Amino acid sequence: MNTSSIIRSAVVSLLTLITMTVFSVANAATINLTKCVASMNKTMSDGASVNFWVFGSGGMSCSGGTLPAAAIEVGVGDTLNLTLSVMMAPMEPTPYNGHTIHLHGADVSTSEDGVPDTGASVMGDTYTWTPTAAMAGSYMYHCHVHTVKHLEMGMYGPIIIRPKDASGNFLNQITSNTATAFDYVQNYVFSTVDPAYHTATGDSTVFADYNPKYFLISGNEGKTTSAPAVTLAAAVNKKVALRLIGIHSVNSTFQIKDSSGAAKSFTVYVQDGRAWPTAQSMTSLDISPGQRFDVIFTTPSTSGTWYPQITYKKLRDNAAYATAYGKVTF
Partner 1 sequence: MQWQLCIRLIVISLIGCLTLPTQAATRTYTLYITAGSLTVNGNGGATLSAWGYTQVAGTPTFPGPTLTANEGDSVTITVINNHNINHNFKIQGVTTDTTAIAPGANRVYSFTASTAGTYLYYDTLNNNINREMGLYGMLWVGPADGSAKAWTNGPAYSFQRLWVVGDMDKPRWNDVAGSGGSVSTSVYKPNYFIFNGKGGFDAMNDTATTIDGGVGQTALVRIINGGQFSYSLHFHGNHIQVLTLNGVRQTSPYKQLDVINIPPLGTADVLYPLNQLGEYVMHVHTAQMETANGVYLNGTVTMIHMH
Binding site for Cu ion (CB under 5 A): 99, 104, 143, 145, 150
> Is residue 93 within the footprint of partner 1 (CB under 8 A)?
no
Region 190-219 residues binding partner 1, contact defined as CB under 8 A: 194, 197, 203-210
150 vs 164 by CB, closer to Cu ion: 150
Q: Which stretch binds partner 1 (CB under 8 A): 37-45, 122-130, 269-277, 302-310?
A: 269-277
Q: Applying CB under 8 A, what is the total number of residues that bind partner 1?
A: 43
Q: What burial letters (b/e) apply to 224-253, b meaning 16+ CB within 10 Å?
A: ebeebbbebebeeeebbbbbbbbbbbbbbb
**Least spacing, CB of residue 75 vs partner 1, in Å:** 20
Q: Does residue 110 interact with partner 1 by CB under 8 A?
A: yes
For 320, left (φ over 0), alpha (ψ -120 to 50), or beta?
Answer: beta
Nearest-approach distance from CB 225 to partner 1, in angstroms: 28
Verify binding: residue 125, partner 1, rule CB under 8 A.
Answer: no
152 near partner 1 (CB under 8 A): yes
Query: Which residues of this chain interact with partner 1, rule CB under 8 A?
Result: 96, 104-105, 107, 109-111, 113, 115, 117-119, 146-148, 151-152, 194, 197, 203-210, 249-251, 271-274, 276-277, 286, 288-291, 315-316
